[in-house]
Structure 1
């Protein structure tokens, strides 16, 4: 995923009320940008970080700018926009980036299985399916919480995330293939694990999903001020 037009560079003044960030641009102008991330964003929103904003030409938008990237004091890039995670996975599916999904022939976004109550990020179809039309389901989570080289999810309590895990588990137990993909948008992260210390209920739901046969994996991204590309799997520690 390439940023076009190019992002605007600035310095983060503060993030507040979850959805707002004040940024000083390189020319000294101070703007308020939309923050497309409802999480705690621990370690991602430190005042003084270099940040990168996209600019909208839509006159109906309340805020002209969207906060896309942050760069830590030691140079690591973070994808702030959680909505980009699904775009990155879709692009990776199309380009056969991950070997675990290299035989996907078709996918559809935002699908509710006939026997489920939750909508999942992707429905996938593989070319090696024994019967035409067999579908599997994938849920994607964006990981940005880093502690040294370890990534953790979630960064805040997520009842919705726990519900999704249990739904995936139920589908898996009924014979439907399912997967949970942690999309890592932080270049310092080298492995991923569930943040049981933040949300023990979610951690338990992930364990139930794994026991039921849900495929769990994590994937990292190449990030710079021009692009984000999902590129390879990372170790996932349960």
Structure 2
């Protein structure tokens, strides 16, 4: 997934109302309001003074002329901010059969209705194989060592998705929770059970029901974001770690 226009550097002044941020553009010194495409807590990624990268646009339909895309991290690492990016990255990877655990499927259908008024991110089909229902979660929390963690705040919707995936397994299909780590300084994945014990419990129940959990890293630079290598998932009971 490539950004539509070249990104420009800025310094974060503050993020507020979830979807807005005040920044100073490094090239001009101008202070502007940018769109923050992330409703989560963004723990560790919204510190005042952080160097970020924003994407300009000239769309007359948009009130804000910049969108926050990346945060620059120590050691030359990056974090992607836009929570819409993971689905785009995963779709490209699925269509290219670049996700080993799901490479056997040739048909990729996004946003298929299932469960209780929900839409699954992707339904995969292949003659002779059980249908695979795939939910994608954006991950960009890192607190200790090289662990990527999810979620960064309470997500009742995420727990609902786990229950719905469990029902698909019970019906004879395959169900997969795919966690995409949208930062480059992590090497393994686990749940942040202390931040949302209910989600951790739902994750354990879904795993026991046969829902698969896989994780991939990403390759991020100022040009775009693409799928990275598989990352190991902590298989211990997650609710017990809360």
- Same-fold call, TM cutoff 0.5: yes
The alignment's TM-score, normalised by the length of structure 1, stands at 0.93
* Aligned residue in 1 for 2:176: 179
**What's 2:41 paired with?**
40
Counterpart for residue 123 of structure 1: 123
2-side partners of 1:235 and 1:127: how far apart? 29
The aligned residue for residue 189 of structure 1 is: 186
Which of 125, 134, 137 is equivalent to 1:138?
A: 134
| Mean CA deviation greater in 156-165 or 41-50 | 41-50
TM-score by length of 2: 0.92
Verify: 1:163 aligned to 2:174, yes or no: no
Structure 2 matches for 1:57-206, cutoff 5 A?
A: 57-113=58-114, 116-129=116-129, 135-147=131-143, 148-206=145-203
Matches within 5 A, 1:22-41: 22-26=22-26, 27-41=28-42
Match of 2:238 in 1: none
Q: Distance in 1 between matches of 2:160 and 2:35?
A: 28
Q: Distance in 1 between matches of 2:25 and 2:216?
A: 32
Deviation at 1:108, TM superposition (A): 1.2
Q: Deviations over 1:165-189 (max 9, x none)?
A: 0110111122111100000001111
Match of 1:234? Answer: 231
Q: How many residues align?
A: 233
> Can you give the 5+ residue segments of structure 1 that lack an aligned partner in the other structure?
none
Distance 2:128 2:59 in 1: 44
Structure 1 runs (4+) deviating above 6 angstroms are none
* Unpaired segments ≥5 residues, structure 2: 236-242
Q: Residues of 1 paired with 2:30 and 2:105: CA distance?
A: 46
Q: What's the secondary structure of 1:167's corresponding residue?
A: helix
When the two chains are superposed, the root-mean-square deviation of aligned CA atoms in Å is 1.4
Whole-Å separation in 1 of the counterparts to 2:147 and 2:179:
13
